[in-house]
Amino acid sequence: MSDALLRTRRRGRLLTLTALAAAGAGAAAWAARGLPGSFGRDPDDRDDRIRNSPQYADGTFHNAPSALARTPSGERPGPDTMRKVLFESEGRTPARPVPLVREAPATAPTDGVAVTWYGHASALVEIEGSRVLLDPIWSERCSPLTNLGPKRLHPVPVALSDLPPVDVVLISHDHYDHLDMATVKGLLRSQSAPFAVPLGIGGHLRRWGVPEHRIIELDWQETCTLGDLTVTLTAAHHFSGRTLKRNTTLWGSWVIAGPTRKVFYTGDSGYFEGYRAIGEQHGPFDAALVAIGAYNEAWADIHLNPEDAVLAHRELRGGLLLPVHWCTFNLALHPWAEPVERLLAEAKAQDVPVAVPRPGERVEVANPPEPDSWWVGLA
């Protein structure tokens, strides 16, 4: 096994420990009686689609080899880092309420693109008459338990049941801040759309009661067509896991295409060669939703920092940049508003157009609002 792969697996275990440490003794008690349903279910390792995936070897999925992935610092996140992430919040949470926009879109535009960001990575993409829901998490915490773990820093702007009908729900990977059991079960009641997910995540959905006809599992570069809408799972440089068992499910990014318009969503990823390749094969895009938060030098290869987010966006030929993966949960040690401040500075230097909506705010991509610094003074 290569040194790079060993380092990635160690970082994956440490990040998982950080997430699961929030569950503490409660998780251990649950485990004694059987795993909580929120842990999901490992995929069947006899599944031919998984075993034959180019991303799968030796029982787990792997990132593509990369010469550009950022090298993490030699200082690994140990117990002190875990304690700070979980229990210290000064400067990393807003001291005043985050302004919200509490309106549900009524009619999807038939000839353009609009994006409504609900906080963290959850967003509704409206593209030429179709609607796509990204990584929805409506729970109070991103955790396997309801009473422990990272808690919301602002309310959900719109009730899950008030969302308009969507054509597909896209999941980028199975971490708790992107795939939430309670939200999935809520969508089973309020929506009829299928869930398109990376290989292996179907196991989680099946345990939670999602019927087979509503599960679409894809490998990188595989495409699903739903009427006038086409979605393609593309690469990301990240990892997966809801327990200490790592990388039994795939992760990825998404290309969302209508008849003439395109939107890209990074999911969680570090910087790597894939962005230029995706831009060349699938771009240009009208807009790209790019993760900008929860970065740290200790895991620089699996999360973008704001400057790398702008670089990735340019290589994607991303059009309007819409930052996601910030504001809603305290998942790293940087100040709460630092991701967007650094992003705007770099975007200005690189002449990249940016819109920074409030949670719940709908952005018309053809006529985006100028950033108005609504976050200033909140922390």
Give me the pLDDT at residue 17, please: 41
In this predicted model, what pLDDT tens digit does every residue of 180-204 receive, in sequence order?
999 999 999 999 999 999 999 999 9
Q: What percent of the chain has pLDDT over 70?
A: 85
Instruction: Give the total residue count for the chain.
Output: 379
120: left (phi over 0), alpha (psi -120 to 50) or beta: left
Q: What percent of the chain has pLDDT over 90?
A: 80
Give me the pLDDT at residue 19, please: 46
The structure's pTM equals: 0.91
Give me the pLDDT at residue 111, please: 85
How far apart, in Å, are the Cα atoms of 272 and each of 196, 237, 304?
Answer: 24, 7, 10
Give me the pLDDT at residue 22, please: 41
In this predicted model, what pLDDT tens digit does every residue of 212-264 receive, in sequence order?
999 999 999 999 999 999 999 999 999 999 998 999 999 999 999 999 999 99
In this predicted model, what pLDDT tens digit does every residue of 77-126 receive, in sequence order?
666 666 666 666 678 999 999 999 998 766 666 789 999 999 999 999 99
Give the list of residues 6+ apart from residue 319 with CB closer than 8 angstroms, or none: 284, 285, 286, 287, 288, 353, 365
Give the list of residues 6+ apart from residue 9 with CB closer than 8 angstroms, or none: 246, 247
Give me the pLDDT at residue 271, please: 98
In this predicted model, what pLDDT tens digit does every residue of 11-26 receive, in sequence order?
544 454 444 444 433 4
pLDDT at 6 over 70: no
In this predicted model, what pLDDT tens digit does every residue of 302-355 receive, in sequence order?
999 999 999 999 999 999 999 999 999 999 999 999 999 999 999 999 999 999
In angstroms, how far is the first alpha carbon of the chain from the final one?
44
